[in-house]
Amino acid sequence: MNIMKNKYSYTALIALTCAFGCKKILSIDNPTNQTSTENVFNMDSKATSALIDIYIRMAEEGSGRFTSQSALLSGLYSDELEAPPINGNSPTAGFSETRLQSNNPLLTPFWSESYFCLYQVNSVIEGLEKSTMLSTQLKMQIQGEAKFLRAYLLFELSNYFGDIPLVTSTDRNINQIISRSSRTDVLNFVIKDLKDAEQLLPSDFSFSGGIRIRATKWAASALIARAYLYNRDWVNAESESTKLISSPLFKLEDNLLNVFLLTSTESIWQLKPVVDPYFDTFEAQFFILEVAPGTEQVFLRSSLLNAFESGDKRRFDWVGNTPDGNWSYPYKYKLKGQVNETEASSILRLAEQYLIRAEARIQRGNIEGGITDLNALRSKRRASPTATVPNPLPEISALITKEEALLKVFQERRVELFCEYGQRWFDLTRSGRAITELKTVKPQISQKDLLFPVPQTERELNPNLSQNMGY
Amino acid sequence: MQKYAFNLGRPRLWLPPKIILIMKLIIVLLTTCLMQVSAATFAQKVTLQKSKASLKEVFEQINLQTGYDVIWKSEQLKNAKTINANFKDKEVKELLDEVLPNQGLGYTITDKTIVIKVKEASFLERLVDRIMAIDVRGRVVDEKGEPLIGATVKGLALSTSTDKDGNFFLQNVSEDAVLEISYIGYMTKTVKAGKDVGTIRLEMATSDLQEVKINKGYYTESKRLSTASVVTVKAEDIAKQPISNPLQALQGRMAGVYIQQESGNPGASFNIKIRGQNSLRGKFDPLGDGNLPLYVIDGVPYNSSSIAGLAAMNGRANPLNSINPYDIETIDILKDADATAIYGSRGSNGVVLITTKRGKEGKTVIDANVWTGVGEVGHFMDLLNRRQYLDLRYKAFKNSDIIPDPNNARDLVLWDTTRTTDWQKELIGGKANYTNAQLSFSGGNQNTQFITRGSYSKETTVFPGSLGQNRIALHSNLSHRSTDQRFSLSLTSDLSNINDNLIYGDYTTAALTLIPTAPAIYNSDGDFNWETDQDGLETWTNPIASYGGTKANNKTLSSITNINMSYKVASGTEIKISGGYTLTDLDQHQITPLSSYNPKSPYFQYSTGYASHSDNKIRTWIVEPSINYSKAVGKGVFTGLIGSTFQSTNLNQLAINASGYTDDDLINDLAAATSLYVLMHATSQYKYFAVLSRLGYSYDNKYVFNLTGRRDGSSRFGENKQYGNFGSVGVAWVFSNEDYFKDSKILSSGKLRGSYGVDGSDQIGNYGYLNSYNVTSPYNYQDIKGLRPTRLANSDFSWEETKKLNLALEVGLLKGSLLATVEYYQNRSSNQLIGYSLPSTTGFSTIQANFPATVENSGAEVSLEATIVRKSNFQWTTNFNISFPKNKLVEFKNLSTSSYKNKYVVGKPLEIFKSMTGVAVNPSTGLYTYNDLNGNGYGDQEDATQVHSLGQKYHGGLQNSITYKNLSFDWLIQFVNQKGRDNSRNLSAPGSYYQNESTEVLSHWEKPGDISNRQKIGIDYIPYGQAYGNIQYYSPLSIRDASFIRLKNVSISYDLKSVLGKRFDLSRSRLYVQGQNIFTSTKWKGLDPESISYNSLPPLRLITIGLQITL
């Protein structure tokens, strides 16, 4: 009896105590270094920070995915770069020998870093939708930048992987079991986002202090031009690239050494390096060789070196050699290990727009117009005549067939855009020439290799994620 | 004291002191008379017929025939004459009255004790006696010298009981009175009164062996009636070991507790498993280790998780390093639900109760203890010597038909091949110095006791250079109990400061892998030797330059202050309140100066020095009010406890990286850095609240029933998931108290007990439910800082649960000279708090969630305690324990899609290794083969399907303590049966790279037909590197027997009291030699089977010599 009585009083005691303040007893302060999501989108400066972080994440070492990693892996996977034959079982060997497997450890970050950034983009877009306290102009600009970045990320992913999950919200319940959307649907979504962005974004660089490290209307246009080109929509590709070529903001550089500087007039959108203590690009950090390449280092394939015509200044200014002359490396970015904030990874630049328009024009039958664009670019890439090369990088005659002209465009793209974030690889796959062109360096290449496999771990975590053919 | 209490303005009744004295005397005398009368009523009869019997013989016969103790002084009988005894059934009193007066002697009888006096005291004489009454003090201890609390001390009509330190104080006792000291379970003893009777040692009685109090934190209970599973290590066992962390003291001594020392570096971390691993989150889980026990110091929970500062040599610093082990009186480990449920939410991994030393009543004692010694690596690996190494390399080149050149064989072409260095000797072969000094003052009176202990300890490493750690600690306790025994207060403070210069990483890997012909560490001019090639690039990694170039300075300041107060409101009801405040500051600095780079390198121009600084502060306060109640109900006793806990912990962390230093002199100055960035600047808060209660009922000392209930709230969970309910039921049957066992000659005690209950865990990070943004990246863009979503918030997760079942049999045999405990337990942890893996399309790779995975730990434990010899100058006791732990992952939904899929297998233990099958050296080609299950041509995780259980099959210890006169000899043998992974194989194909190897490699395949498990030597990737690479990570050959039997501890101590005690007033002084990890027998080929690792220094062999003086 006694025990029972006590039990009751004990229960009553708990009930009383809880009624009067269990919740309060356990209430804690939010950590000083965290801000609730709601607060972030109620202040201009915080909302800006939320957006800026996406650029930072893209430029960070861990996700070099958007700069050096993208250049490296696509370069190895196509025919630009080669790894020294040190360890045949290494993850990079999977790329350089084109026997990529879905469990390659370099593949997962290549996929997941994009989705981590996409989550942030969607979080910003959703935050802005709910927010009522931001200034209209800033809200538009952030929305525009977010949409541009979302389009860029999705476009890149689908170029590498084909069909991909089209993630457009932060809802875990949806995203956890999302299936892949067709490449066409992704492309349509990308173009729609870019069109929105084009409307929302400012048309000059004043808001970013004159340098071109944030998305503008022009960045949206440039990416739309590329998207149309990849989608074989020649009319729109030509009109979008014309916008950029005719804008006074952009001009091909006379000096090749200026092309990849922060001050370059060719650049449309750059990612500024952020990682201390270098403050220089990962491209320079990674590609420049002081001595023979070691493990985890790469060098330029001789086939690419041979692709440069004589008198092409790009061969001299954008290709570096080790002191012993045995090894060459991409040398577009020259500052390594210095605190010198003058270079930035140029992701969208004017030269590409010339090449887009040239290709679009030729495809539409305007061979002369296309060749004019090619020659305009070549005139800026020409070395001075010398005794041995009296006629460096000669003008291309317009009196050629469409097929010949298109080959000229691809050749020009190869030497202009080498080691720039998958450009060569995408050119090979979209033109259907990948297998024939790569057969010489990679005898075992087959149709399935044209798309990266969806990472195995991702498929294990999401039963609805299908795999590309052949993997 | 209350003289004036009634003096409310009325004239005080004046009584001269003399009158008061007389009144006092009258009362005393009356009492004495009554005593005499009662003594006279005894009627014990003696028969003795002997001529010329001495008085001594008479007394012996009285004792023999009646059981009365007869006490006399030998000088009293000096002049006694013999008598012709002829007594038949004579009453004792009559006999004495007849015999003694003739001899001029008298006697008194008190209870069953007869004290012989020079003369029967006359009334007057007795009056004088009373006036001369004295105050008696003394101390009662058991056979081991431990205080007996609550022992009854009777002197004539007065009686008292000993306090918690065994001390008693009895006023107004006749100088020649006899004290009777009794305690349940012990044989009653009588001593003659004196001002200070010193320490009285009681011996265990033949039954009721276990009237020992056990500590359960909020309450204590007698071991005899306990329903819980608790193991204890006491100060005397700690004192036998030269150690620096309290956990070291427990190794091998406790059934069900496995403690692994992870390295031999000062301040090394420990892996403690109390009845196995419950949580899927192991030591290196990004969400934090979910398997830490709860540490409670002097009743106040202590933060046990490592502080996440900068990585250091000793791993993540263990907070217990701040406690000087020699300040500890007892360590109790609570294992089952009955014991741990009172800590409910936090007891699922067991509870470690640490009780620090307190002062003892009596004269002020000064205790000084100093020991010093050296530590060294106990066992080196058998590595290739210069000749063996070079032969292997040349053979590799020959087999591959490749000419060594500077690119593929710098060791053979560029380096001097005639050099020989024993890198183990060079890098880990030094002697570590240990010094430990302690000085304490303690003492007090009946009401108030104090202790203050200062200690200093210093440890260096076996590495080159002057790396080391020192700790200064101050422990103090003040205890007070009011004269009416109602109020008590105890204040404890532990302050410590640890200072070390331990760098990140240690030299063990280098010692095992550097080849015998590797270049010298220093040039002839004393600079670091980089052995550069023509490009200025170093051709080797100079271990001292690359690690030793880094400088570190770490400081840990810790302060623990506890206060415990209690007040007895009424008989059986006591209100208690305890509170504590704990402060931990960890301040770290790590510096990589320019001088640690190769100056000839073409990269040197880009190099700058850099430094990392981190400052971490943890503050915890806790308040625990409780009420204890006990009442006898019929033949039973009812006990109750209700209480509550309020806890709050705040954490502040700051970590900064400073870089761009071009001048090493300025590298400690943050202002001189060209760039600074904040790696972390965070605060976090944790709050915890609980109400708890315990009800107990024991009937007739035979049947015991305990019920514990608790409701806990933690701020780590989302708003509606904060509270959890926990509880337990414990029952015991003391069958030896049943009538049919009462007279058993063999069985002296026996108990069956069992318990079942639920414990919990909230060992995860704070704020998992919070939807927020934070600054994650140290970088900025356009001078704007970024804000990033912190996590995928989840407000639905809640407490992890462990259900515990425990059954035990305890028996004492042969008058308690053999005590045995056999236990069986089965614990199941479910609702596991883990980082649940998500596809990256969700934006994160994990989310904090409960997961329906269940881990089962079950097993049997046996403890034996035997007293082999117990004589006054020769004692021998033996303790033995063995545990058979079994661990199993019972359930894990969708394991194959979780991030744990490669780590765990349902139905298997958590500690496993998955290997490939068919790994062997092909006798005809000499190359490794394996079963390529997924057919991709490479050995990978998917081919690893065979599951091997690692971890302990059984473990235990055997301790022997022998004391012969002044010499004590104590040794502990630890034994562990386990499997471990030999990860030394994670090197490149043997012979293909300039890296040293175990001599086991010499048994490699040579010619067709050879059967070997080491493949043919060769340097080219195809076929050698490829074949090796395929089996490298998932080979079953890496599973090795890591069982060992180790002479863990030896202690030889010589008691100096008999030598020095006559000249000095020494109560306890000894000279001792102690050793740790003295000898190990194992098949393990690596440095040490306990730490298993190939990358960190093994626990050292330590020999020390010490001197303790107590004044």
**Residue B685 is nearest to which of A28, A56, A167, comparing CB atoms?**
A28
Can you give the pLDDT at residue B8?
A: 38
CB contact under 8 A, A272 and B782: yes
A12 contacts in chain B (CB < 8 Å): none
Q: Structure pTM?
A: 0.76
Kindly state whether residue A315 falls inside one of the protein's structural domains. Answer: no
What is the tens place of the pLDDT at every residue in B1045-1099? 999 999 999 988 777 766 666 677 899 999 999 999 999 988 999 988 777 899 9
Is residue A56 within a helix (H) or strand (E), and if so which, with residue range?
helix A44-59
Is A100 in a helix, a strand, or coil?
coil
The Cα diameter of chain B in Å comes to 121
Mean pLDDT in residue range B639-668: 90
Is residue B854 within a helix (H) or strand (E), and if so which, with residue range?
strand B853-871
CB contact under 8 A, A89 and B938: yes
Is residue B1059 within a helix (H) or strand (E), and if so which, with residue range?
helix B1057-1060
Residue that the structure tokens 């490009």 belong to: B535
What is the tens place of the pLDDT at every residue in B583-633? 989 898 989 888 888 888 877 877 888 899 999 898 999 999 999 998 888
CB contact under 8 A, B790 and A34: yes
Residue that the structure tokens 């010597």 belong to: B385
Alpha carbon separation from B84 to B54, B87, B192 (Å, rounded): 9, 10, 30
Kindly state whether residue A210 falls inside one of the protein's structural domains. Answer: yes
Listed residue (B58, B63, B95, B71) closest to B177, CA to CA = B71
CB contact under 8 A, A37 and B789: yes
Question: Touching check for A172 and chain B: CB below 8 Å?
Answer: yes
pLDDT at B700 exceeding the cut of 70? yes
User: How many of the other CB atoms lie within 10 Å of CB of B420?
Assistant: 12
CB contact under 8 A, A26 and B715: yes
State the number of CA atoms in the 13 A half-sphere of B26 facing the CB.
6
Q: What is the mean pLDDT of chain B?
A: 84
Question: Touching check for B790 and chain A: CB below 8 Å?
Answer: yes
Gap between the Cα atoms of B1049 and B1079, Å rounded: 9
CB contact under 8 A, B689 and A172: no
Secondary structure of B29-68 in the HEC alphabet?
HHHHHHHHHHHHCCCCEEEEEEEEECHHHHHHHHHHHHCC
**Residue A338 is nearest to which of B606, B785, B792, comparing CB atoms?**
B606
Q: Do the Cβ atoms of B551 and B668 come closer than 8 Å? A: no
Among A260-264, B966-970, B997-1001, whose mean pLDDT is lowest? B997-1001
State the number of CA atoms in the 13 A half-sphere of B369 facing the CB.
23
Listed residue (A205, A187, A197, A186) closest to A221, CA to CA = A197
In chain A, which residues have pLDDT < 70? Answer: 1-23, 62-64, 85-89, 276-279, 339
Gap between the Cα atoms of B61 and B63, Å rounded: 5
Kindly state whether residue A205 falls inside one of the protein's structural domains. Answer: yes
Residue of B nearest to A465 (CA): B839
Gap between the Cα atoms of B548 and B539, Å rounded: 18
Can you give the pLDDT at residue B763?
A: 84
Q: Which amino acid is at B254?
A: M
User: How many of the other CB atoms lie within 10 Å of CB of B195?
Assistant: 11
High-pLDDT (> 90) share of chain B, %:
37
Gap between the Cα atoms of B242 and B827, Å rounded: 34
841-860 in chain B: CB under 8 A from chain A: 841-845, 847
**Residue A49 is nearest to which of B713, B771, B785, comparing CB atoms?**
B785
Kindly state whether residue A78 falls inside one of the protein's structural domains. Answer: yes
CB contact under 8 A, B897 and A17: no
276-335 in chain A: CB under 8 A from chain B: 276-277, 290-291
Question: Touching check for A37 and chain B: CB below 8 Å?
Answer: yes
Kindly state whether residue A304 falls inside one of the protein's structural domains. Answer: no
Can you give the pLDDT at residue B39?
A: 39
Gap between the Cα atoms of A98 and A453, Å rounded: 12
Gap between the Cα atoms of B124 and B291, Å rounded: 73
Kindly state whether residue A317 falls inside one of the protein's structural domains. Answer: no
Gap between the Cα atoms of B564 and B298, Å rounded: 9
Provide the domain limits for residue A122: 11-278+343-461
Can you give the pLDDT at residue B306?
A: 65
Residue that the structure tokens 């002479």 belong to: B1047
Paired residues of B10 in beta bridges: none
To probe the interface with A, which of B533, B720, B838, B841 has the most A CB atoms within 10 Å? B841
Listed residue (B505, B547, B552, B778) closest to B656, CA to CA = B778
- Say if residue B885 is preceded by a cis peptide, omega within 30 of 0: no
CB contact under 8 A, A272 and B781: yes
More confident residue, B955 or B183: B955
Going by C-beta distance under 8 Å and a sequence separation of 6 or more, which residues neighbour residue B201? B141, B142, B143, B145
CB contact under 8 A, A27 and B687: yes
B936 contacts in chain A (CB < 8 Å): 101
For residue B120, what is the DSSP state?
A: P
For residue A225, what is the DSSP state?
A: H
Is residue A37 within a helix (H) or strand (E), and if so which, with residue range?
helix A37-40
**Residue A165 is nearest to which of B633, B780, B841, comparing CB atoms?**
B841
State the nearest Cα–Cα gap between A56 and chain B, in angstroms: 6
**Residue B779 is nearest to which of A178, A208, A274, comparing CB atoms?**
A274
Going by C-beta distance under 8 Å and a sequence separation of 6 or more, which residues neighbour residue A95? A73, A76, A77, A104, A106
Can you give the pLDDT at residue B936?
A: 75
Among A20-34, A223-237, B567-581, B860-874, whose mean pLDDT is lowest? A20-34
972-1011 in chain B: CB under 8 A from chain A: none
A167 contacts in chain B (CB < 8 Å): 841
Residue B20: pLDDT band by 50, 70, 90 thresholds? low
Going by C-beta distance under 8 Å and a sequence separation of 6 or more, which residues neighbour residue A118? A150, A153, A154, A167, B843
pLDDT at B403 exceeding the cut of 60? yes
CB contact under 8 A, B841 and A178: yes
Listed residue (B852, B811, B848, B806) closest to B825, CA to CA = B806
Gap between the Cα atoms of B882 and B976, Å rounded: 9
To probe the interface with B, which of A2, A34, A460 has the most B CB atoms within 10 Å? A34
Listed residue (B679, B672, B607) closest to A278, CA to CA = B607
CB contact under 8 A, A26 and B771: no
Specify the number of domains making up chain A.
Answer: 1
Residue B12: pLDDT band by 50, 70, 90 thresholds? very low
Gap between the Cα atoms of B1102 and B1111, Å rounded: 29
Residue of A nearest to B894 (CA): A461
Select the highest-mean-pLDDT range: A236-250, A433-447, B338-352, B552-566. Answer: A236-250
CATH number of the domain encompassing residue A349: 1.25.40.390
The number of C-beta contacts closer than 8 angstroms across A and B is: 228
Gap between the Cα atoms of A416 and A253, Å rounded: 13
Phi-psi region of B914 (alpha: psi -120 to 50; beta: other; left: phi over 0): beta
Residue B851: pLDDT band by 50, 70, 90 thresholds? confident
Gap between the Cα atoms of B291 and B831, Å rounded: 14
Gap between the Cα atoms of B1037 and B1003, Å rounded: 14
High-pLDDT (> 70) share of chain B, %:
90
Question: Touching check for B895 and chain A: CB below 8 Å?
Answer: no
Residue B16: pLDDT band by 50, 70, 90 thresholds? low
Nearest-5° Cα angle at B216, B214 to B218: 130
To probe the interface with B, which of A9, A32, A33, A121 has the most B CB atoms within 10 Å? A33
Can you give the pLDDT at residue B1?
A: 36
**Residue B681 is nearest to which of A2, A33, A461, comparing CB atoms?**
A33
For residue A151, what is the DSSP state?
A: H
Q: Do the Cβ atoms of B687 and A26 come closer than 8 Å? A: yes
Question: Touching check for A364 and chain B: CB below 8 Å?
Answer: no
Kindly state whether residue A416 falls inside one of the protein's structural domains. Answer: yes
Listed residue (B358, B510, B513) closest to B440, CA to CA = B358
CA A201, distance to chain mean position in Å, is 20
Alpha carbon separation from B940 to B200, B837, B1040 (Å, rounded): 70, 22, 21
Can you give the pLDDT at residue B605?
A: 79
Gap between the Cα atoms of B1107 and B1064, Å rounded: 15
Question: Touching check for B809 and chain A: CB below 8 Å?
Answer: no
pLDDT at B424 exceeding the cut of 90? yes
Residue B10: pLDDT band by 50, 70, 90 thresholds? very low
Kindly state whether residue A380 falls inside one of the protein's structural domains. Answer: yes
